[in-house]
Chain A
């Protein structure tokens, strides 16, 4: 059985392709929300340990918004988007026609807007995976944590810590106007599900 540390080049490039298609879908969805053109850079798939990922995200105490979605159905596991606070703020402001300044006085309404963004983004990737693999997939209601990156990442690290220290994520940049939005998506199917995906793609 394959795990996150013994994937070969071909398997990694196939998984990258999921990221590519998912990000394309996400860019289209974001364009619709923002009523503005959103482009993206070529996503990069990385499998590294938690400490390294914390550093890539700006250090343990850097604040960010984490949106967690569980994958259900024939592929089980988790998707965790780690997004810049400024980016989330501007999305909320566009979606709700508000002008929130800080996350200190965030309302229930704002939180449900963030959940909706989570639904839209995770839907983009889920449909990429299920289209490529023909596997039936669903998603849970998104859960939000606005906190330090290190604390947010303790969740997936602990969930997958029994199997090793590696996390798989996709890094990409969305470009809207002059803004460049860095997005990090942790995509961690359970090992049986990872193998099922590889089988469906005929690269096992």
Chain B
């Protein structure tokens, strides 16, 4: 059994078997799991906001959907992944409090999808929106994403 590699808020990591990726308690944040099935390499990015203004330091690159996903793709390519083989599974983007107008969660999901489209990465599965938190585990062995929520058990996607 390998390590459980924790991805924090505004953070990203990549692993190969037998390690597994986990990010805890996504609320309005979105977890983006990228997978290269041939290399069995998995990457997970935990973004907090849709887009950055300008003048970011390294740590902030990971905070925003419009900079983090491309950064994760670049890192995976440096580890001999091929962009055309990458597929995505995404989770999160909830609206934790019933606020009016378009929530940050919704805007995050929109920007994540826009970025994945721009980078030509197909989304295989998603569990997004609603009003509850999600913990996400991603396994590089088979590219499965497990989503756990309070009082809702867990789903395998």
Contacts and interface: CB of A to CB of B under 8 A. Distances in A.
A105 to B, nearest CB: 10
- Centre residue among A50, A151, A157 by max chain B CB count within 10 A: A151
Given A60-B24, A66-B96, A66-B97, A151 B132 contact: yes
A134 interface: no
Q: Identify whether the interface residues of B are mostly helix, strand, loop, or mixed.
A: loop
Interface in B62-113: 63, 94, 96-99, 104
B50 to A, nearest CB: 9
B131 interface: yes
Contacts, number: 85
A13 interface: no
A145 interface: yes
B9 A148 contact: no
A147 B9 contact: no
A158 B104 contact: yes
Contacts of A59: 24
Interface of B: 8-10, 24-29, 48-49, 53, 63, 94, 96-99, 104, 131-135, 150-151
21 contacts: A50-B9, A54-B25, A66-B96, A66-B97, A147-B96, A147-B150, A148-B133, A148-B135, A149-B25, A150-B27, A151-B26, A151-B96, A151-B132, A151-B133, A151-B134, A152-B96, A152-B133, A154-B26, A154-B96, A155-B96, A159-B104
